[in-house]
Structure 1
Amino acid sequence: MSQPGVDLLFSPPGATDLVLLAHGGYEHSHKNPGSWRAPILRMWPLAAAARAAVPTAAVGLMRYRYRGWNDVGDPATDLRSVLDALPFERVVLIGHSMGGRAVVAAGDHPRVAGVLGLAPWLPSSEPLIALRPPVMFAHGNDDTVTSPGDTRAYANRLRAAGTPVSLVCLAGETHAMLHRTHDWNALVATFTEYALTGSGEFVPEDLQWPTAESPTSTATAVLNVAWTRLRLPVRERIRVTNPK
């Protein structure tokens, strides 16, 4: 992947809104992100949930040049370049792990209509960005890859600066988001609908996300990811030729 861009999974005629999902990666890596690696595959069911919530919006997956953050924030640079070039008026950003860090770093872009970080990687040194609301962070309390405590600390810094933030805890969930898949899907759908239509209620406080069903087995979750990936083709690829 020599150019950043977006793989559109849904693109309704005349769509002016986009839900853009940014996948996770590594702290350091200049390898090609690939199309069949676990971090990006995990985003497919979330894309389907976003599409079901707001069928009039386009839904796409962010494609970086590299797998890693690489000190200089390559994914965030790629995301900003894509936001500058996209033919959409409003973009809801949803990112997991490193993708969560990227959507926060680019969350003040004028096209952004909401930022949702799923188990985001937000180290204590992360610069405070004036994110465009609504803003929600969600983290499993059993995550040992990225820190729920760091996410809470960043949310509190935003609140102190005047940005309302909804901070959601999913009990019994780890970093891969494979134990409470129905709840992650519901969270994405609820946030997307609120950000683009104003339907529902935004609660700017700490929340325990209610469990929709019994925990999902890892095998069932992985099969659902594979099935969703196989039945949803990439309809269009948008590439940025000169990322800033």
Structure 2
Amino acid sequence: MLLVLPGGRAESLDPPPRLGLARLRMRVFAAAVRRRVGDAALTTAEVHYRHRGWNGPQAHPVADARAAVRELVAHAPDVRIVLLGHSMGGRAALAAADEPQVVGAVLLAPWCEPVDGAEHLRGRRIVVLHDPADQVTSARKSRAFATRAARAGADVRYLDVPRGGHAMLAGAGDWHRLAASAVTALLAAGPLPGAPPDAPAPGLTPG
């Protein structure tokens, strides 16, 4: 099961728009990843946020992500879930990745902050993709969080994707390919793509 977490805003108690760009972007992205994974049995679900924003210590999307995971498990107790989160959704995925049925998370241009803890990710498998030129969220902070998570005992891989910005529109095929590779590895318990976060940035590998 691929559970998709769209982006949002730092602060907003408004409900997300039904057809907002954040949701549409991730639906297209998730469909492309599913096609590339090549597993007809892989299904996709989406976290539906109550509020559009993270909203400081309330961290509303985290509770929504955990509720979505538990709802899936209630219907299929043996389900294995990969979280696929973009921007704010990536931050929520990191916070909720300790749910027992979550086998790992793939983070796309995630919003990471120094205050975000990583100890709960011990034993989890995480792949982070970020364009160093992203002007909305910080690739430097993403790599720093990935390093903290690795030191806390997570199996983390970090990849610089040198185009696409925050919206991942330019070079979208590269983003889809790398995300699909990561999802496949997480579901199959195979080697993760990319390099440890404290290794020199390898850039985008051809293929």
Query: Which bracket does the TM-score occupy, shorter chain normalised?
Result: 0.7 to 0.9
Q: Secondary structure at the match of 1:67?
A: coil
Residues in 2 aligned to 1:179 and 1:128: alpha-carbon distance in whole angstroms: 31
Whether 1:210 and 2:193 are equivalent positions in the alignment is no
Instruction: List 4+ stretches of structure 1 deviating above 6 A.
Output: none
Equivalence for 2:103: 113
Equivalence for 1:160: 151
Equivalence for 2:17: 34
* Cα distance, 1:143 vs structure 2: 0.4
- AA partner of residue 107 (structure 1): A
* Cα distance, 1:172 vs structure 2: 2.8
Equivalence for 1:45: 28
Equivalence for 1:79: 65
- TM-score (normalizing by structure 2): 0.87
Residues in 1 aligned to 2:88 and 2:174: alpha-carbon distance in whole angstroms: 21
Equivalence for 2:126: 135
Is the helix fraction higher in 1 or 2? 2
Q: How does 1:1-244 map to 2 (within 5 A)?
A: 18-52=1-35, 53=37, 54-71=39-56, 72-86=58-72, 87-88=75-76, 89-131=79-121, 133-198=124-189, 201-206=192-197, 207-210=202-205
In structure 2, list runs of 5 or more residues that go unmatched. none
Cα 1:201–1:27, aligned 2, differ >3 Å: closer, same or farther? closer
> How big is each residue's C-alpha offset from its partner over 1:36-61, in whole Å with a ceiling of 9 and x where there is no partner?
11111111222112322122121122
Aligned length: 195
Greater RCO (Cα-Cα under 8 Å, separation 6 or more): 1
Residues in 2 aligned to 1:112 and 1:79: alpha-carbon distance in whole angstroms: 11
* Cα distance, 1:121 vs structure 2: 0.4
Contact 2:119/2:152, CA 8 A, preserved across alignment: no
> How big is each residue's C-alpha offset from its partner over 1:211-244, in whole Å with a ceiling of 9 and x where there is no partner?
56xxxxxxxxxxxxxxxxxxxxxxxxxxxxxxxx
Aligned Cα RMSD in Å?
Answer: 1.7
In structure 1, list runs of 5 or more residues that go unmatched. 1-17, 213-244
Whose radius of gyration is greater, 1 or 2? 1
Contact 1:121/1:151, CA 8 A, preserved across alignment: yes
